[in-house]
Amino acid sequence: MPGSNLTRIEAEERKAIIEAPIHYQVDLDLTVGAKNFGSTTLIRFNAKPGSATFLDLIADEVSSITVNGRTVDPSVAFVDNRIELDGLEATNEVVVEAKCRYSNTGEGLHRSVDPSDGNVYLYSQFEVPDARRVYSVFDQPDLKATFDFSVLAPSSWIVTSNMPVASVDDDARETLDGTLGDKPNETTKLWRFETTPQMSSYLTAICAGPYAEWHTEYHNEDGRTVPMAMYCRQALAEAFAKDVDYLFDITKKGFAFYAKTWGVPYPYAKYDQIYVPEYNAGAMENIGMVTIRDQYVFDSKVTDALAERRVVTVLHELAHMWFGDYVTMKWWNDLWLNESFAEFTSTLATAEATEWHDAWATFCSGEKSWALRQDQLPTTHPIVAPINDLNDTYVNFDGITYAKGASVLKQLVFYVGREQFFQGIHNYLQKHAYANATLADLLDELEKTSGRDLKAWSAQWLEQSGINTIAADVTEAADGTIASLKLTQTAAPEYPVLRSHRLAIGFYNEDENSGKIVRTDRLELDVNGETTEVAEAVGMKRPAFILVNDEDLTYTKLRFDEASLKFAEENLHRFDDALARAVTWLAFWDMTRDGEFPATRFVDMTLRLLAHETESTTFRYALACMSTTAHHYVAPDKRNDVLKHVAAELWKLANEAEAGSDTQFQLVIAYLGYGEEGDAEFAANAHGLKNGTVTLPGLDIDNNLTWTLNQALTSVNEMSCEEVEAELAKKETTENREFALGARASQATADAKSWAWNEALHNPELTNMQLEAVARGFSSTPRPDLAEPYAKKYFDAVDWIWKNKTYHMAEALLNGLYPGYADPADLTELGDAWLEEHADADNALKRLIVENVASSHRTLKVRRYNEGL
């Protein structure tokens, strides 16, 4: 892969040489053209006299390097994306002039041209090590510095950065006519920004372009007035204007909630949120200027699950202003300190400070299910992960770092007490403000406030891999009372640790008045070691259902006693509490994918749940997991019948659903994923929905749903490439270009798959989002005959992809092009052979391949289980 890696040892060695204070003056010229921009960096820093180290820089050209007034030959000093510095003095000044390149991959300074109006939009994305794509820098989190940014840009643009604008001056120069996508011969402006506080380089940011903007302010708890702004593309301004006040309100609620919870007011000078196109992440916590993917600007109807996820994302990035920005990890092994904490506290804030009161059910169905899946892969790792280099960091933005870490923090709050926990967080933030910290620093403060020894807790939960299973066993007395309730904890042989859990057990019975299944009793206890007898339960009336881990207070897999299992399978849809449903459903899904619960029974249970479920994210994940089960896990000789059964039931439920409801909307979209070539009824329904001859009350066929229908039709060869292009010509936007590419790639023909494969691999003009759309379309057609030819091609292409693509594009290709509908026996054989032949390959690359191959191994295992029933 292009670009040099940075090892932890190299970072430690550089940290031992470079000394505070460090200051950067970064001057960017965005008027050079459509391919490159000018970057001049002046860096002042202290160092050990006589030492040598290096700066990071990825640039097309370095024209000048000056070190302490001494001219250095760039052709000698600039090698492999590093600028070698030697003969350093106690106080140093380095100036680097370079020509850097705009990206279309979401890394560094991304350049996007909106086809609907020709406007150009720039934004930066620097996590993990991509500040070096824009300016010369010591690009590691523990070399915090202050920054001054200036940006020369077309006069019609606005420019934003981490700090408020210090000045904007007219510049007499003319831009290159036409190459910027703006007015010919337009004059320029020079934007200068106030000096930042001490911060890590990956948190610096620049956005520029003719963004639409909205402003308000927040009266901070420390008496300051904090300016707030939101921005998006002009093409989305009308749609975004409908939501801006709501999103400002959510953000202000977050300010108040976090300041009260942690006792630390918002620490920075302003707070911008910029919704940007073609983003390769959900959002990024740049200090004072958060960037967010503009799929969160809703120009068409979306699910309630996505609307809630937007709120959680807004609050997640806001939480980072304290946890990650105000206090930053020293090295990427403590990435979880940023992400787990932001994920936990954003869910807490969503549940307690917004209208989304079932946020913990959302977390269970969405985030925790991600954690359980990740934790059962061969690539699982401790929450505090070993990070030897930057490539290790890339692949650890995963379900362990985010979702398992957040689950464990929820358990820790319950373990030490909420008041004690957040007092410890307050002390931690105050003690390490604007500096770097480690896990040991956090645990030290929590031990002081809670009085608990957290080193043993950390060793169990943070420093060891794997997940436990807690199974319930009930003995019933003749009078219907509980004679014994025993919990048995087990662990996978490769990760044998048995953990301490603080959890609750819920007893559930039918309410005679409502017919709902409600909780009638609750027990709270510690679970330690292999066996725990629940003495308090003895003599209590045996309930219809016993839910271990009621309220989802610990992180574990669950197995129910036999009577509870039978009752829940038949009655889960009647459970009154959204979180209880989510916890129980997740256990059934886990049993299904472990080959312990029949796939057909899981499908039927899920269909019953869908007829009544009201929590949108649980609904969404139930649909997704049912699809995986029907397409991959059922016995092959039953698959076609199961798929037809599911499609018929989804269409029936959609027609019975409340008009215009989220349920109706999700059911229609799910139904459109079950098309088969030659299915006349499916084709008639899809065509009819699109042309208006088939209607569902309250269902609006808007832009995005139209494209969902287009892709459903291409996937069964009911729509041609020419028809897709004609549809795009009606309204060519950034989003619709991506939809059109995905629709073309989804066509169920060998020619379409060949086109998509070659486009994804060899068309450098595709943006990151366009590439992902093509890859998703390529792999989405559930026909083994179309996928099978690419099983060998995939593994033959892996090395080339890794060598020739940036990490994010390689990840998109290696995951998106994996032909998961091919015979899993072929995929596992080829994958295992590739891994054996590439034992010395980069760990990050091997991890991507291992996880894909592991999914095929699981498919084989679960199919064989279901074949034997």
CB 790 within 8 A of CB 755: no
Strand, helix or coil at 469?
strand
Nearest alpha-carbon partner for 303 in 582, 613, 626, 735: 613
Cis amide bond preceding 21, omega within 30: yes
- Per the DSSP assignment, residues forming a β-bridge with 70 are 67
Give, to the nearest 10 degrees, the angle between helix 824-837 and helix 790-804: 40
Three-state DSSP state, 804: helix
**Distant-in-sequence, close-in-space partners of 234: CB < 8 Å, separation ≥ 6:** 114, 117, 119, 210, 211, 212
Closest-CA residue to 191 (of 228, 154, 226): 154
What distance in Å separates the CA atoms of residue 128 and residue 134, rounded to the nearest whole number?
Answer: 13
What lies within 8 Å, CB to CB, of 13 at 6+ separation is 53
Burial of 339 (0-12, 13-18, 19+ CB in 10 A): buried
Strand-pair partners of 72:
65
From CA 547, how far away is CA 559, in angstroms rounded?
Answer: 10
The residues annotated with a catalytic role in the active site are: 317
Rounded distance, CA 701 to CA 713, Å?
15
Backbone angles phi, psi at 270, to 5 degrees: -155, 175
* Relative orientation angle of helices 824-837 and 843-867, to the nearest 10 degrees: 150
Assess contact for 609 and 568: CB atoms under 8 A. Answer: no
Buried (b) or exposed (e) across 388-426, using 16+ Cβ within 10 A? ebbbbbbbbebbbbbbbbbbbbbbbbbbbeeebbbbbbb
Task: Supply the Cα-derived Rg of the chain in whole angstroms.
Answer: 28
Q: What is the 3-state secondary structure (H, E, C) of 55-66?
A: EECCCCEEEEEE
Which amino acid, one-letter code, is at 234? Q
List phi, psi (to 5°) of 192.
-120, 145
The answer to whether residues 443 and 450 touch, using CB atoms and an 8 Å cutoff, is: no
Yes or no: say if 228 and 250 are a contact pair by the CB < 8 Å rule: no
Pairing of strands 545-548, 501-510: antiparallel
Q: What is the DSSP string of 414-454?
A: HHH-HHHHHHHHHHHHHHTTTEEE-HHHHHHHHHHHH---H
Two tokens, residue 833: 């052979």
Q: Residue 449 to residues 178, 259, 416, 597, 802: CA-CA distances in angstroms?
A: 62, 19, 9, 44, 47
Report d(CA 341, CA 285) in Å as an integer.
13
Report the C-alpha gap between 811 and 115 in whole angstroms: 27
Question: Is it true that the peptide bond before 128 is cis, omega within 30 degrees of 0?
Answer: yes
First-to-last alpha carbon distance for the chain, in angstroms, is 47
What are residue 169's DSSP bridge partners? 190
Contact 523, 546 (CB under 8 A): no
Single out the residue of 357, 139, 123 nearest to residue 233, CA to CA: 123
Picking from 746, 738, 739, 774, the residue whose alpha carbon sits closest to that of residue 759 is: 774
Kindly state the DSSP code that residue 284 receives in the 8-state scheme. Answer: E
Phi, psi of 293 (to 5 degrees): -60, 140
Q: Are 612 and 619 in contact (CB under 8 A)?
A: no
Q: Name the token pair of 21.
A: 């204070």
